[in-house]
Amino acid sequence: MLGETETKPPLYAVSFHAGWTGPDVELHSGLNETDPPLATAKRGSLIGGDSATIKLPGPPTTAATAAARPSRNTYDFTIEVGGQREKFEWQHVGMRTGWQLARLSTNEAVAHFEWTNLTKKELYFQFVGSGLIGALGERWAVMAVITAIRAWDRVRRRQGSGTTAAIVSAH
């Protein structure tokens, strides 16, 4: 479940899938896995891959690709913001569980996420800067959330923490 804080009711459901077909991660538009997806992420290869195809419904209908660069501890994506395509990069920072999302055109931090314990399956996500005030748009916000969940799920899978649904808190 995904919500604004741990104390408020959740807003969205997140589902994880371990099969060979379909998406690996889905962010749903409601509280059930049967609600339509806001976004999906699928690994780029059968053995886990370091890239993912991210799909956001609605215009533009083309899929976006987010690519992990494990040797640099980054995970990047490109999306349209204000009529222009911009590149954003999740960067591994500080402690081993912390990541920040940089808007590369301005070198500004626009979101961050971290977890304290993979077995508890909790992810703490927060928009900051222009990401917090909504200046980058709704599609960008959904892309930021799904790529953070995908990056976190990638780490969980590699560390053998399972693929069952997780409690995800955004604040």
pLDDT in tens, 132-141: 999 999 889 9
Q: Domain segments of the chain: what residues?
A: 2-170
The CB density around residue 15, as the number of other CB atoms within 10 Å, is 19
pLDDT in tens, 55-82: 887 655 455 656 655 556 778 888 888 8
What pLDDT score was predicted for residue 166? 43
Q: In this predicted structure, which of 80-84, 98-102, 166-170 has the lowest mean pLDDT?
A: 166-170
DSSP 101-137: EEETTTTEEEEEEE-S-GGGTEEEEEE-HHHHTTTT-
Say whether pLDDT at 16 is over 90.
Answer: no
Higher model confidence: residue 60 or residue 30? 30
